[in-house]
Structure 1
Amino acid sequence: MARAAATKEPEFKADPDSAEPLYLQLAGHIERSIRSGRIPLDTRLPSERLYAQQLGLSRTTVTAAYQELMALGLVRGHVGRGTVVIADEADAAAGGAVAWPQLASRLARAAPAASQEPAPGVVSLGNGWLHPSLVPAAALAACAAKVLQSTECVTRAAPLHGLPALRAALAGCLRADGVKAAAEELLITGGAQQGLNVVARSLVSPGDAVVCESPTWHGAFAAFRAAGAEVAGVAMDREGPLPAALEDALIRLRPKFVYLIPSFQCPSGRLMSLPRRRAILDLCARFRTPILESHVYAEAHFGAPLPSLKSLDSAGIVILQGSASKLLGPALRLGWLLPPAPALPLLAATKAGLDLSTPLLNQAILARFLAEGGQTRHLPAFRRALQARRDALLAALARHCPELRCLAPQGGIYVWAQLPRPLAAQELEAAALRHGVAVKAGDAFLPEGGASGHIRLCYAAPEAGEIETGAQRLGRALRELLQQQRAAPVAADLAPV
């Protein structure tokens, strides 16, 4: 039977001057206590909530510290038993086997978990994928059937820069959006995420700084950190990143580049205003700092689109990044980069080290789809369907989750919902899943860590008819946690010391 936490453990004292995040300081403190024997094997650590109360920390901090200890192989979480110490030597493995978790880098341990398919019966509002009903499956299948008539597409590799027909078709789409683009200026990538890795590994040396919005897509700052970057977030208002905060970061950090999602930002859904776009371009041009602009959601607009930063760029500082995944579905796994001409050889050389050839068959299917006008026909109905889903989710949240505060996005696929205080996003994510709906805690999108006080909800992922059910279940989870919050002081008074 597991024992309660030992009393010989010294009191934890945070170091406010340390650059190490608070959760890692706490994890290191517990690890030292375990290794020294002050916390013996089979000891049950305090519950996350209780330990947070004892230390005056957020539950999120304690949860992250326990997860770090699990990654080190020192503790394990057991349903009904809590978190139990299972080893006092992290390098030891049962039967002499390799202790693989201990070989993982700190970056790998700290990386957010990849999105998982929800279990049967769970309404998916957490993943950022398109529901199959939003994908032009029949048109893509018809293009695939035509492409497969040529044996070349299944016997050859594509050129490093990408299939010429696809580069030409994408350049035509970009020119229609007001971007000056030639086919030979584009680099095809294996999805948007590979584009992030290509840029990061091309421009970042260990210790360099990269600046991004806060919150932002966690896959981006994970890619930048994997290349050795120190990532700093810039606060936003409803119009986008605050120019004064960005200027301060440019002065202090001299970053290698700034990463921005101007249109329907992930996770917040914000649309950067035109004046803000011009102000940020002027700032970065003055400091000669490149911008990596994510154009992934820009075509999913519900009104008149705003010009991209790339189309407004007269200084040659913007690398435009795009993807087919958020418009046509994730199966093709195709993205692209449109850099200033002098940067293309550098990016292409880096891509060659990651992926010699993006699959030719996938590129040929997308090239034919674009050339035959498939995207032009698809987008109007796609936008109407997304807008209807957005309206359905906002109406359902107003009925079932009046405690949440959220703005109506003008495009994209996400609603960014603010939680009532002092509710923690990770607690709500866990509670919602118990009630049968998956949501995404906003903490994962903060490049510098901490608690966001928000959840991200994707209205593109579930069945349209499941949106109401998902909001009902989320409302039940909300009320459950709020009732627990109100009852917590009474329970604490009655708890034994």
Structure 2
Amino acid sequence: MWQLDRSDKAPLFQQIIAQIIRYIQEGQLTPGDKLPPERKLAALYGVNRSTVNHALEELVSLGWITRRQGSGTEVAKGRWGSRQAPQYQWQLLLRQTPFAPDPYLSGLNTWKAEPDALDLYTGELPASLIPDFRFPAMRWENILAAERRTGPTGYAPLKEIILQRLFENYGIDSTGQDLLITSGSSQGISLILQTLLAPGETIATEEPSFLFSLPLFQPLGIHLEGIACDEEGILPEALERCIIQKKIRFLYLNPTFQNPTGRLMSLVRRQAIIAVCRKHYIPIIEDDVFGELDFSSPLPKLKTLAADQVIYLGSLSKIFGPSIKIGWLLGPKDLIHNLAAAKQRMDVETNIFPQLLADSALRSPEYTTNHAQLMTELKRRRVAFSEALSFATADWQLRKIRGGLYTWLTWRHQPLTRRDWEYFLQEKLLVAPSFLFSNDTMSMRINYTRMDPDQLQVFARRFITVTEKLKQKE
């Protein structure tokens, strides 16, 4: 296993790095596995110990392994999506195994094919809850007319109705701002990263955050720093330290029903975070894809508190499902026009058809009624889920569901390992453990909306089984 190809002309330390990354991606080494001691690795590879040390230190800096005095070297357990590729020699990069998903996700995707699996991982409403709309028949001349009303930033009527709803629902004023239509919020995030950040620069976010599960950062060479949070949201003091020490370029926040924790950032904390960012001239990306799934009166958006400092991301996919893959960026006009120009250069157009469907749905007289019915059903499912898990509060801490799609459960007993989460897969409960979003292994995200009453009973039975297995390991 620990052998090098001596015909390879790449430096030995680079070959070692590439080989260990490949072993991790192929599953020969799994998160938490110990590597042989440095001296033994040097003997196995037939190289100097300094060569092995150089390779291991590079792997630590890239996020693939961890090294602790007295504990040895092991494969990193968390933050799979923030691991970096070594940026050297095109030939070596071309030979590397493509970036692989977290091993847990590979297993989860296998179990998804089982007909009786409960998919509580997927971040969407179940199909049965997606509002139904009647879309008008459209002649080809209507499509051509719509394309004439589509500029670099998107279909004008759709932009108009989105801006109208943002003002009516949240008081977001578009004076001096413009809106760019994207193919979902992920495209908006990717566009910002590729346009406004350079390789080696750093963006900060909450810890945990779903950004750590996205394969966006590794190929761009952009670093992602997690900032500690409490029940009110990201900690201002920790953020300020990170800004100073890591030279943060952007702060990405998901303040309303944060993914994965479902946390709602308090108004006081929102104001404090904005103050820190103003002090250090740090732009904020506010991702508000769950904004329309609020069970109470919405808190002021960061965009309303600091319009020119915040780029606001929204999406319709959490309401309409992935079929209408429409999102948007709202920011200062000059910035949005630059992003639109970059979008055109990258040739990542947003198709006119989903824009027309989105515009029709938002203008439909059925929209308000359908949305109210959806919220009523989500509240009912929230109550049913909380009651079904009332037995588990001695073993699991449950965060109160105040909106959005997710709830966050934390184990109250002995430390859990990655392998302990295999019990959930064995019981066909497809959940999202916290190690997908951070270095923690004690919590999980569940999409509570994806279970009707019958499925909730099945979930409760399987959840009891897993809980008992975990308790037996204490």
Scaled by the length of structure 1, what TM-score is found? 0.74
Find the aligned partners of 2:323 and 2:309 in 1 and give their Cα distance. Answer: 31
- Do residues 470 (structure 1) and 463 (structure 2) align? no
Distance in 2, matches of 1:377 and 1:58, equals 57
Kindly indicate whether residue 443 of structure 2 is the aligned counterpart of residue 454 of structure 1.
yes
Greater alpha carbon shift after TM alignment, 375-384 vs 325-334: 375-384
**CA displacement 1:1-37 (0-9 Å, x = unmatched):** xx9x9xxxxxxxxxxxxxx999699569799589749
Query: Is residue 2:138 matched to residue 1:148?
Result: yes
Q: What is residue 131 of structure 2 aligned with on the other side?
A: 136
Cα distance change, pair 60–452 in 1 and its aligned pair in 2 (3 A):
farther
In 1, distance between residues paired with 2:341 and 2:43?
A: 47
Letter in 1 for 2:409: A
1:240 maps to a residue whose letter is G
CA distance in 2, matches of 1:111, 1:342: 42
Gaps of 5+ in 2: 3-20, 25-29, 48-69, 86-91
1:250-282: per-residue Cα shift (whole Å, max 9, x none)? Answer: 222221110001101111111111111111111
Instruction: Mark the CA change 1:35 to 1:464 in structure 2 (over 3 Å): closer, same or farther.
Output: farther
Q: Which residue of 1 aligns with 2:64?
A: none
Q: Does 1:410 align with 2:421?
A: no
1:212 aligned onto 2:208:
no
SS in 2 for 1:211: strand
More moved, 350-359 vs 364-373: 350-359
Shift of the 229–62 alpha-carbon distance from structure 1 to 2, 3 Å rule, reads closer
Q: SS of the residue aligned with 1:460?
A: helix
Provide the residue aligned with 1:250 in structure 2.
243
The whole-number CA distance in structure 1 between the counterparts of 2:335 and 2:78 is 42
Equivalent position to 2:416, from 404, 413, 424: 424
Distance 2:191 2:176 in 1: 19
Q: What is the CA distance between 1:288 and its match in structure 2?
A: 0.9
Question: What is residue 361 of structure 2 aligned with on the other side?
Answer: 369
Size of the aligned set, in residue pairs, is 415
Task: Compute the displacement of 1:237 (Å).
Answer: 0.6
SS in structure 2 of the partner of residue 285 of structure 1: helix
Distance 2:418 2:391 in 1: 23
Structure 1 contact 442–452 (Cα < 8 Å) conserved: yes
* Structure 2 residue 153 is matched with structure 1 residue 161: yes
Contact 1:148 1:154 (C-alpha < 8 Å) held by counterparts: no
Equivalent-residue separation in structure 2 for 1:400 and 1:322 (angstroms):
35
| Partners of 2:270 and 2:302 within 8 A in 1 | yes
Matching of residue 233 in structure 1 with residue 226 in structure 2: yes
CA contact (8 A) 1:406 1:416 kept: yes
Q: 1:395 is matched with which residue?
A: 387
The answer to whether the 8 Å contact 2:126/2:450 transfers is yes
Question: Any conservation in 2 of the 1:126–1:456 contact (CA below 8 Å)?
Answer: yes
- 1:58 Cα offset (Å): 11
Gaps of 5+ in 1: 6-19, 39-54, 72-98, 487-497
Q: Measure, in 1, the Cα distance between the counterparts of 2:266 and 2:329.
A: 23
Question: Which residue does the alignment assign to 2:275?
Answer: 282
Once residues 34 and 465 of structure 1 are traced to their aligned partners in structure 2, the CA distance between those partners, rounded to angstroms, is 59
Which amino acid is the alignment partner of residue 281 of structure 2? R
Bigger Cα displacement from structure 2, 149-158 vs 166-175: 149-158
Output the CA distance in 1 between the equivalents of 2:208 and 2:142: 44
1:170 equivalent in alignment to 2:162? yes
Distance in 2 between residues matched to 1:136 and 1:125, nearest whole Å: 20
- Give the aligned residue type for 2:263: R
Equivalent residue letter for 1:299: E
Report % sequence identity. Answer: 27
Opposite residue 143 of structure 2, the aligned amino acid is: C
RMSD: 3.9
Secondary structure of 1:186's counterpart equals strand
Deviation at 1:243, TM superposition (A): 0.9
